[in-house]
Structure 1
Amino acid sequence: MTALPDWMVLPPGGLSAAEYEALPEEACRRIEIVDGAIVVTPAPRRLHQTIARRLANELEHAAGPEFAVDTDIDLRLRDVPLLNRRPDVVLYDATLPDDVVLRPQHVALVVEVMSPGSVTADQTDKPAEYAAAGIEHFWRIESEPQDDRKLTVFRYRLDPTTRAYVSAGVDTADIAVSTPVTLKVELESLL
């Protein structure tokens, strides 16, 4: 039996923000922290990465100087107990210095590309966490189980009264939105 690396052995109260930040960068690339516990995420398939990268490119082109766009970066939703997610695509305030931890108040849009191993997290857990943190827009991209080259984008906006997401539309051919950026993208071009 293989022993866990030392960094995966959690203290009784779970991993703190300081302990997470002290981890080697290569360890952080495939983990998320939920209530102080380490959640290892499998490496996504190439198609998943292609969709995220191409959408990020489209968002970056549409965003202008106001927003920055990144893929697979840390988003600190809460410090205690530590809740740190790594969304597939994030649109956030471009004035944020590189050394500042990305937090919900900096973010305008989070996008998750759903994979077979992330259905519950992407459909239930993450949207609830992002909404509770006050992130105004959330999109989830799903592919058909029988045809992973047929995409559907579920778009949500935050209801400020309930602090829960409500549907802002479902797209099966193209995305055409005016908020948080003006964007028109044929879904086929993301494949």
Structure 2
Amino acid sequence: MTALPDWMALPPEGLSAADYEALPEEVCRHIEIVDGAIVVTPAHRRLHQRIARRLAGELEQAAAPELTVDTGVDLRLRDVPLLNRRPDVVVYDSALPDDALLRPQHCLLVVEVMSPGSVTADQTDKPAEYAAAGIEHFWRVESDAQDDRCLTVFRYRLDPTTRLYALLGADTDKLSVSAPVELTIDFDSLL
């Protein structure tokens, strides 16, 4: 039997922000922290990575200069208990210094590309967390169960009264939006 690595041995109150920040980057790239607990994220398939990378490129070309687009970066939703996610794509305020923590108030849009191992997190957990944190836009990219090259993008916008996401649309084949950025994409270009 293999022993768990030292960084997975958590105190009863869970991992603190300071504990997380002390972890090596190669560890942080493969985990998220939910209520102080470590959630190991499986390695993504090439198609998942390609969709996220190409969508980020399209968003970056469409974004105004005051917005930055990144993939796979830490997003600190809460400090206590620690809630740290790594969205597949995030669009945020360019004024944020590179060494500053990315927090919900900096974000305009977060995107999750759903994988077989992330269905519950991407359909239920993360949208609820992002909405509660006040992130205005959330998109989820899903592949058809029978054909993973057939994509649907579910677009949501935060209802400021309920602090829940309201569905704006479910796009197949093509996406054409004016908010949060003006963008038209043929989904074949993401594959």
TM-score, reference length from structure 2: 0.99
Cross-structure match for 2:148: 148
Query: 1:123-174, CA deviations, whole angstroms, 9 ceiling, x for partnerless residues?
Result: 0000000000000000000000110000000000000000000011110021
In 2, the alpha carbon distance for the partners of 1:149 and 1:178 equals: 25
SS across alignment from 2:162: coil
In the alignment, which residue of structure 2 is the partner of 1:27? Answer: 27
> Please, what TM-score do these two structures have when normalized by structure 1?
0.99
Structure 1 residue identity aligned to 2:13: G
Q: For residue 65 of structure 1, give the secondary structure of its aligned residue in structure 2.
A: coil
**Residue 166 of structure 2 is aligned to residue 178 of structure 1:** no
Unaligned runs of at least 5 residues, structure 1: none
Per-residue deviation, residues 104-126 of structure 1 (Å, max 9, x unmatched): 00000000000000000000000
- 2:129 is paired with a residue whose SS is helix
- The percentage of counterpart residues that share the same residue type is 79
Which residue of structure 2 aligns with residue 103 of structure 1?
Answer: 103
Task: Please give the alpha-carbon distance, in whole angstroms, between the structure 2 residues aligned to 1:51 and 1:61.
Answer: 15
Matched, 1:67 2:54: no
1:96, 1:60 → 2: CA distance? 16
- RMSD (CA atoms): 0.5
Q: What CA distance in whole angstroms lies between the structure 1 residues aligned with 2:64 and 2:139?
A: 20
Name the amino acid aligned to 2:21.
E
- 1:180 Cα deviation from its structure 2 partner: 1.1
User: What amino acid sits opposite 1:111 in the alignment?
Assistant: V
For residue 134 of structure 2, give the secondary structure of its aligned residue in structure 1: coil
Q: Which consecutive segments of 4 or more residues in structure 1 shift more than 2 A?
A: none
Give the CA deviation at 1:64: 2.7
Tell me the residue number matched to 1:16: 16
Aligned residues: 191
- Structure 2, unaligned runs of 5 or more: none
